[in-house]
């Protein structure tokens, strides 16, 4: 049964860093990757762009390829976007046997013990940690203890079981962040080649980001 990989975030705005790591993860894991915009991120300010605007940007950015998909399930909830609740919903939809793979950046992974019911995540999905070649970080002791027996270097292990493994996944380091893109827009500078053409083609959305700065 083919796994499903999930990359969450506010995508405010979606930029080339999001798209490139998602594509590389899809190729490395041999699975489609669902980009899943968050509705109300528990640990971050509310997005500048509306849910509808972020969906429109993602949908336009993903046109013409079939490795990256758009999943709007978190936007259909009014409560905060806790990952554990999203994964429980996916389990209910796809069944207990379908492998699910949660994609996290290394910094987000290191902060996992601050997440709601974080240990439950391993009972619902595998976690693939997207790392930069040559870059490492010291994990909190409780996270390191939880992850140590789960570590694998084999992508096949993520296909063979529904959940419970942790895999490091090297991706191309692109030093682009949504906050940096918003700063470029707020300064009235051109964000070309930092963001997909979907953002450049929407003058109202560009104006909203510039005004928010």
Q: What is the pTM of this model?
A: 0.94
> Torsions phi, psi of 151, nearest 5?
-65, 140
Q: What is the DSSP string of the chain?
A: ---EEEEEE--TT--HHHHHHHHHHHHHHTS-EEEEE-SS-TTSPPPSS-HHHHHHHHHHHTTT-SSEEE--GGGG-SS---HHHHHHHHHHHH-SSS-EEEEEEHHHHHTGGGSTTGGGHHHH-EEEEEE-TT---PPPHHHHHHHGGGEES-HHHHHHSSS--EEEEE-------HHHHHHHHHTT---BTTB-HHHHT-HHHHHHHHHH-
Distances (CA, A) of 159 to 78, 90, 91, 114, 115: 33, 17, 16, 28, 25
Domain ranges of the chain: 4-212
Assigned token pair, 77: 């909830």
* CATH code, 4-212: 3.40.50.620
Kindly give the confidence (pLDDT) of every residue in the chain, 213 residues in length, as a single tens digit, with 9 standing for 90 and above.
Answer: 899 999 999 999 999 999 999 999 999 999 999 999 998 766 777 888 999 999 999 999 999 999 999 999 999 887 777 999 999 999 999 999 999 999 999 999 999 999 999 999 999 999 999 998 767 788 999 999 999 999 999 999 999 999 999 999 999 988 899 999 999 999 999 999 999 988 888 888 888 888 876
């Amino acid at each position: 049964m083919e796994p499903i990989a999930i990359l969450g975030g506010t995508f405010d705005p979606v930029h080339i860093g999001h798209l490139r790591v998602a594509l590389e993860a899809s190729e490395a894991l041999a699975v489609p990757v669902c980009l899943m915009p968050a509705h109300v991120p528990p640990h971050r300010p509310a997005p500048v762009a509306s849910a509808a605007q972020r969906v429109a940007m993602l949908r336009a950015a993903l046109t013409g390829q079939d490795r990256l998909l758009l999943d709007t399930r978190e936007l259909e909830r009014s409560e905060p976007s806790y990952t554990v609740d999203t994964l429980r919903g996916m389990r209910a939809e796809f069944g207990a046997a379908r492998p699910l793979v949660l994609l996290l950046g290394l910094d987000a992974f290191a902060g996992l013990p601050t997440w709601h019911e974080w240990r439950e995540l391993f009972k619902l999905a595998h976690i693939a940690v997207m790392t930069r070649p040559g870059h490492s970080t010291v994990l909190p002791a409780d996270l390191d203890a939880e992850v140590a027996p789960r570590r694998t270097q084999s992508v096949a292990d993520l296909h063979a079981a529904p959940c419970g493994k942790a895999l490091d996944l090297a991706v191309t380091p692109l030093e682009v962040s949504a906050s940096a893109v918003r700063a470029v827009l707020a300064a009235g500078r051109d964000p070309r080649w930092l963001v997909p053409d979907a953002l450049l083609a929407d003058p109202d959305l560009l104006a909203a980001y510039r005004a928010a700065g």
